[in-house]
């Protein structure tokens, strides 16, 4: 009986973060009932889509055996460049949107080429790209935020419109639907398509994948491009939502996003990824960030709790894999 439970937990890595999420939710609620208030839930929902969209891209990339440390810089750079192009009169906001998304894709393509064709590790490539992108954003903006309040456009409504409920503090940001739709698409691609099988095979055993005729270089390049585009897209949503694009936005997001995906059950070494687990990881870390503030713990302690959560879930995953004979 015990072995069957362990095998089930090892096969369904999402159960660990789900249980931890429920436990933390109950703990925070017992310490402060305001944790489950309408206003607090609204605040939590408001911040989930942006970081969650980046995490979806990272999930696919990690499953393919690589990771990207430049996503935080892209999150800040992409909207800054878009609003500079708009505010300086170079082009309309819609055209600027497509231009900067194309630039984000080009940056991802460059990362992919350097990793697959030149043979540089993704750690070195993307940390170098992080410095280039962040530095470029600071240089072109002179370190100042770019206002988006003048950008009254259907694009803003499509990405960051707020749906208010009369007589209540509850509201929903349209970006939540973007996140849900992208999560459903990522789940479908990873689990129901041939390309999803290629991603897992590439991350699991690249040499064996090549022997089976899979173009692993192309798979990785596409994943780097997808991750970069999603990071830039999330940054644009954030800028529209708060009314300004800051060149330092997204600082530290790369590690937070990796933490979310790994806590959710995606392997840091490739070959195994779970979109549902990533969603739970996003919810878990947002619950921690929000909950410690609500119960009166200083926000600066957030990283301590995240570190404990990572170590705990890694310990649980390692134990389950060992007990089940290595997992699947």
192 lies in some domain: yes
Q: Of residues 132 and 270, which shows the higher confidence score?
A: 132
Q: What confidence score (pLDDT) does residue 274 get? A: 93
138 lies in some domain: yes
| Separation CA 210–CA 30 (nearest Å) | 53
Q: What confidence score (pLDDT) does residue 149 get? A: 60
- Among 49, 50, 64, 19, smallest CA distance to 266 is for 64
Q: What confidence score (pLDDT) does residue 116 get? A: 96
Q: What confidence score (pLDDT) does residue 325 get? A: 58
217 lies in some domain: yes
pLDDT tens digit sequence for 47-106: 899 999 999 999 999 999 999 999 999 999 999 999 999 988 899 899 999 999 999 999
| Separation CA 297–CA 140 (nearest Å) | 38
Q: What confidence score (pLDDT) does residue 183 get? A: 97
Domain of residue 142 covers 50-282
110 lies in some domain: yes
| Separation CA 17–CA 260 (nearest Å) | 10
Residue 126 has pLDDT above 80, yes or no: yes
SS3 244: strand
Q: Of residues 234 and 324, which shows the higher confidence score?
A: 234
298 lies in some domain: no
Residue 46 has pLDDT above 50, yes or no: yes
The residue assigned the tokens 């990881």 is 281
Length of the chain: 328
pLDDT tens digit sequence for 176-214: 999 999 999 999 999 999 999 999 999 999 999 999 999
Q: What confidence score (pLDDT) does residue 148 get? A: 67
- β-strands 171-173, 162-164 pairing: antiparallel
For the chain, how many structural domains are there in total?
Answer: 1
Give kind and range of the element (H or E) at residue 147.
Answer: strand 146-147
Burial-class residue 47 by CB neighbours within 10 Å (0-12, 13-18, 19+).
middle
Q: What confidence score (pLDDT) does residue 150 get? A: 60
* Cα-based angle 282, 287, 293 (whole degrees, multiple of 5): 135
Average pLDDT over residues 133-137: 97
pLDDT tens digit sequence for 5-40: 555 555 667 887 888 889 989 999 999 898 888 888
Q: Would you say 202 and 218 are in contact if contact means Cβ atoms under 8 Å apart?
A: no
pLDDT tens digit sequence for 263-316: 888 988 889 999 999 999 999 988 888 888 888 877 677 778 778 877 877 777
Q: Would you say 289 and 302 are in contact if contact means Cβ atoms under 8 Å apart?
A: yes
pLDDT tens digit sequence for 211-230: 999 999 999 999 999 999 99
Residue 324 has pLDDT above 70, yes or no: no
End-to-end CA distance of the chain: 19
Q: Of residues 173 and 327, which shows the higher confidence score?
A: 173
232 lies in some domain: yes
Local confidence band at 4 (pLDDT 50, 70, 90 cut-offs): low
**What phi, psi does 215 have (nearest 5°)?**
-80, 85
| Residue partners of 137: CB distance under 8 A and separation at least 6 | 73, 76, 77, 80, 81, 247
Per-residue CA distances from 218 to 7, 115, 186, 210, 215 (Å): 34, 11, 18, 11, 6
Q: What confidence score (pLDDT) does residue 298 get? A: 77
| Separation CA 8–CA 26 (nearest Å) | 24
116 lies in some domain: yes
Give the dihedral sign, CA 69/228/246/182. Answer: negative
69 lies in some domain: yes
| Separation CA 60–CA 275 (nearest Å) | 8
Q: Would you say 92 and 233 are in contact if contact means Cβ atoms under 8 Å apart?
A: no
Local confidence band at 327 (pLDDT 50, 70, 90 cut-offs): very low
Q: What confidence score (pLDDT) does residue 328 get? A: 41
């Amino acid at each position: 009986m015990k072995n069957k439970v362990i095998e089930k937990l090892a096969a369904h890595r999402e159960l660990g973060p789900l249980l931890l999420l429920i436990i933390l939710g109950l703990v925070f609620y017992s310490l402060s009932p305001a944790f489950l208030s309408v206003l607090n839930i609204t605040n939590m929902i408001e911040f989930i889509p942006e970081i969650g969209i980046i995490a979806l891209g990272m999930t696919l990339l990690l499953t393919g055996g690589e990771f990207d440390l430049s996503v935080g810089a892209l999150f800040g750079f992409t909207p800054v460049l878009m609003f500079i192009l708009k505010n300086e009169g170079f082009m309309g906001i819609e055209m600027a949107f497509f231009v900067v998304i194309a630039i984000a894709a080009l940056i991802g393509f460059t990362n992919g080429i350097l990793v697959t064709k030149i043979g540089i590790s993704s750690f070195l490539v993307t940390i170098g790209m992080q410095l280039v992108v962040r530095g470029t954003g600071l240089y072109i903006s002179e370190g100042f935020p770019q206002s988006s309040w003048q950008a009254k456009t259907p694009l803003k409504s499509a990405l960051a419109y707020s749906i208010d409920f009369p007589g209540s503090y509850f509201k929903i940001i349209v970006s939540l639907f973007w996140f849900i739709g992208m999560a459903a698409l990522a789940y479908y691609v990873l689990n129901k398509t041939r390309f999803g099988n290629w991603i897992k095979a590439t991350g699991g055993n690249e040499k064996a994948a090549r022997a089976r005729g899979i173009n692993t270089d192309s798979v990785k390049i596409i994943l780097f491009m997808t991750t970069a585009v999603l990071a830039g897209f999330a940054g644009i949503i954030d800028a529209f939502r708060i009314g300004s694009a800051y060149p330092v936005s997204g600082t530290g997001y790369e590690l937070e996003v990796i933490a979310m995906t790994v806590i959710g059950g995606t392997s840091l070494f490739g070959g195994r990824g779970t979109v549902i687990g990533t969603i739970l990881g996003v919810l878990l870390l947002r619950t921690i960030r929000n909950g410690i503030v609500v119960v009166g713990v200083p926000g600066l302690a957030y990283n301590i709790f995240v570190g404990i959560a990572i170590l705990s879930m890694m310990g649980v995953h390692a134990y389950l894999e060992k007990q089940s004979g290595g997992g699947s």
